[in-house]
Amino acid sequence: MMASSLPVATIIGSRIIVLSKTQGAKLYKEGFFGKPVNIHKPKDTEVDAPLELSLFEANYLLEQRRISVESGGRAISLEELAKFSRENFRLFDELYAVYKDLREKGYVVRPGMKFGSDFAVYEYGPGIDHAPFVIHVLPSSAEVDPIEIVRAGRLSHTVRKKFILATLDRSRNKVLYFMFMWWKA
Amino acid sequence: MPEPLPKAVMRGNQCFVSGPDADRLHQQGAVGTMEKGVLRLSDVEMLHLVEREKIAVYGEQGEALDFPSLLKLLEGYDSEIWLKFLLYSDLRRRGYTVKPGFGPKLEYRVYERGASVGKEPAKYLVYGLVEGKTVKVSEIASISESAKLSKKDLILAVIDRQGEITYYDTTEVSL
């Protein structure tokens, strides 16, 4: 059976881990999915550790039928995983829409935590690209102070990484990306 | 003796300049609209020109109206006249030709410096946002969409609590 050869991701509490080191290494190698546990800057793609997947990655990979996800010894469906994800991550639907859109466009999408944003986006991958785009996601219903725009403009300039604001337009089911650059009037 | 300033008469929230000054102001100042030899100036244009000492405005009874009294009168027509004036005059002082936007919002069409207004379209749509007043992300998206449809660059003008303005070129990118 083909299905049995899929990497298995296991839900442990609120987190998702690929416990098999070989399956984990394969996923990391095939598109920089997940994070090898306790390896901070995986230099080469031959990693020897379990792999933690983000909720976005797990949903995406399950949707793509590239992994199966189990909880308590039972395979769980995409719907169940989405529900679990919403319970464990704020704005999951908006963030996932952006994650998926960028992955479908061929980008490598990694957490943006160290840049203070939601996602860091690479053309080829971390350690290969010079600098990622930095993406901040806001729900389209969010009320923001214009200071957000100033902040976005400042970050674009200072970090040399393009700072992009993303939002999901639910009426068109389309992700919109905005860039703000200081304009010398 | 300095030349007397062109005289404008206020009616409602606009003012009117007639005679030879009308055409000159219209051409050189890139302000107002000409109708049968009479130049009509909008509220912000009037305030700007008075502040720059380019015109003298009088009431219909012939009373002189200075900048403070005009401002108070115009506030009666539009409570946000100050912000509109700030943004208009900031852009004018930077050398742009500025025309009103289409909505009641803090919005202007702005022409590239040296552009011949009327012959070519405005290059920018400038939209004012005010510190302390939130804006919906969906509103930014819809302004951006309408700027795109009219083939203008969207510039968001962020006005801080003391009236200082910073401009941001805003682009929807496809990635």
Q: Inspect the interface and report whether the beta carbons of B168 and A183 lie closer than 8 Å.
A: yes
In this model, does residue A44 exceed pLDDT 60? no
Compute the distance between CA of residue A142 and CA of residue A148 in angstroms, rounded to an integer.
11
pLDDT of residue A65: 97
CB-based contact (8 Å) between B146 and chain A? no
Query: In terms of domains, do B94 and B72 share one?
Result: no
Query: In terms of domains, do B86 and B130 share one?
Result: yes
Q: Inspect the interface and report whether the beta carbons of A145 and B171 lie closer than 8 Å.
A: no
Query: In terms of domains, do B44 and B105 share one?
Result: no
Please report whether residue B91 resides in a domain: yes
Picking from B105, B108, B166, B168 by the largest number of A CB atoms within 10 A of its own CB, the best residue to mutate is B168
- Radius of gyration (Cα) for chain A, nearest Å? 17
Query: In terms of domains, do B57 and B110 share one?
Result: no
Contacts of A108 in chain B (CB under 8 A): none
Distance in Å, alpha carbon of B64 to nearest chain A alpha carbon: 34
Query: In terms of domains, do A83 and A105 share one?
Result: no
| Domain span including residue B38 | 7-77
Query: In terms of domains, do A109 and A126 share one?
Result: yes
Please report whether residue B158 resides in a domain: yes
Of A133, A145, A149, nearest to B156 by CB-CB distance is A149
Average of per-residue pLDDT values in chain A: 91
In this model, does residue A3 exceed pLDDT 60? no
Query: In terms of domains, do A48 and A104 share one?
Result: no
CB-based contact (8 Å) between B130 and chain A? yes
Question: Looking at chain A, which residue has its C-alpha nearest residue B145?
Answer: A176
Confidence at A2, pLDDT banded by 50, 70, 90: very low
Sequence-distant (6+) residues with CB within 8 A of A134 are: A112, A115, A117, A119, A120, A121, A155, A159, A161, A162, A163, A164
Token pair listed for B39: 């130049």
Q: Inspect the interface and report whether the beta carbons of B172 and A177 lie closer than 8 Å.
A: yes
Query: In terms of domains, do A20 and A79 share one?
Result: yes
Please report whether residue B174 resides in a domain: no
Domain boundary among the residues A60, A89, A118 is at A89
Spatial strand order of the sheet with A74-75 comes to A35-36, A51-53, A15-18, A8-12, A68-71, A74-75
Query: In terms of domains, do A38 and A96 share one?
Result: no
pLDDT of residue B114: 82
CATH assignment at residue B98:
3.40.1350.150
Picking from A176, A177, A182, A184 by the largest number of B CB atoms within 10 A of its own CB, the best residue to mutate is A176
Confidence at A10, pLDDT banded by 50, 70, 90: very high
Query: In terms of domains, do A154 and A121 share one?
Result: yes
CATH assignment at residue A37:
3.40.1170.20
In three-state secondary structure terms, A13 is coil
Query: In terms of domains, do A1 and A76 share one?
Result: yes
Compute the distance between CA of residue A127 and CA of residue A111 in angstroms, rounded to an integer.
14
Query: In terms of domains, do B11 and B71 share one?
Result: yes
Query: In terms of domains, do B99 and B65 share one?
Result: no
Query: In terms of domains, do B53 and B34 share one?
Result: yes
The structural domain count of chain A equals 2
Query: In terms of domains, do B140 and B117 share one?
Result: yes
In this model, does residue A160 exceed pLDDT 80? no
Contacts of B158 in chain A (CB under 8 A): 146-147, 149-150
Compute the distance between CA of residue A95 and CA of residue A119 in angstroms, rounded to an integer.
9
The structural domain count of chain B equals 2
Q: Inspect the interface and report whether the beta carbons of A146 and B175 lie closer than 8 Å.
A: no
Token pair listed for B83: 């912000």
Query: In terms of domains, do B63 and B124 share one?
Result: no
Query: In terms of domains, do B17 and B61 share one?
Result: yes
Token pair listed for A3: 């299905």
Domain boundary among the residues B77, B94, B114 is at B77
In this model, does residue B1 exceed pLDDT 70? no
- Report how far apart, in Å, the C-alpha atoms of A178 and of each of A96, B51, B75, B160 are: 18, 37, 35, 22
3-state helix, strand, coil in chain B (%, to 5): 30, 35, 35
Compute the distance between CA of residue A156 and CA of residue A159 in angstroms, rounded to an integer.
6
| Domain span including residue A13 | 1-89
CB neighbourhood size of A115 (10 A):
20
Contact assessment for residue B19 and residue B36, using Cβ atoms and an 8 Å cutoff: no
* Stronger pLDDT, B114 or A109, i.e. the higher one: A109
Query: In terms of domains, do A111 and A169 share one?
Result: yes
CATH assignment at residue A117:
3.40.1350.10
pLDDT of residue A1: 43
Question: Looking at chain A, which residue has its C-alpha nearest residue B170?
Answer: A180
Of B137, B166, B170, nearest to A144 by CB-CB distance is B137
Q: Inspect the interface and report whether the beta carbons of A179 and B171 lie closer than 8 Å.
A: yes
In this model, does residue A131 exceed pLDDT 90? no
Averaged pLDDT for residues B117-130: 93
Average of per-residue pLDDT values in chain B: 94
Q: Inspect the interface and report whether the beta carbons of B171 and A178 lie closer than 8 Å.
A: yes
Averaged pLDDT for residues A55-73: 97
Token pair listed for A43: 């230099």
Minimum mean pLDDT among A46-60, B39-53, B123-137, B149-163: which range? A46-60
Domain boundary among the residues A49, A69, A89 is at A89
Q: What percent of chain B has pLDDT over 70?
A: 98
CB-based contact (8 Å) between B64 and chain A? no
CATH assignment at residue B50:
3.40.1170.20
Q: Inspect the interface and report whether the beta carbons of B168 and A176 lie closer than 8 Å.
A: no
Compute the distance between CA of residue B158 and CA of residue A152 in angstroms, rounded to an integer.
12
Query: In terms of domains, do B19 and B37 share one?
Result: yes
Q: Inspect the interface and report whether the beta carbons of B168 and A180 lie closer than 8 Å.
A: yes
Domain boundary among the residues B77, B109, B131 is at B77
Query: In terms of domains, do B90 and B163 share one?
Result: yes
Measured over the CA atoms of residue B110, residue B112, residue B115 and residue B120, the dihedral's sign is: negative
Query: In terms of domains, do A123 and A145 share one?
Result: yes
Please report whether residue B150 resides in a domain: yes
Averaged pLDDT for residues A56-68: 98
CB neighbourhood size of A114 (10 A):
9
For the whole model, what pTM was predicted?
A: 0.89
Active site members of A: 122, 130, 161
Please report whether residue B175 resides in a domain: no
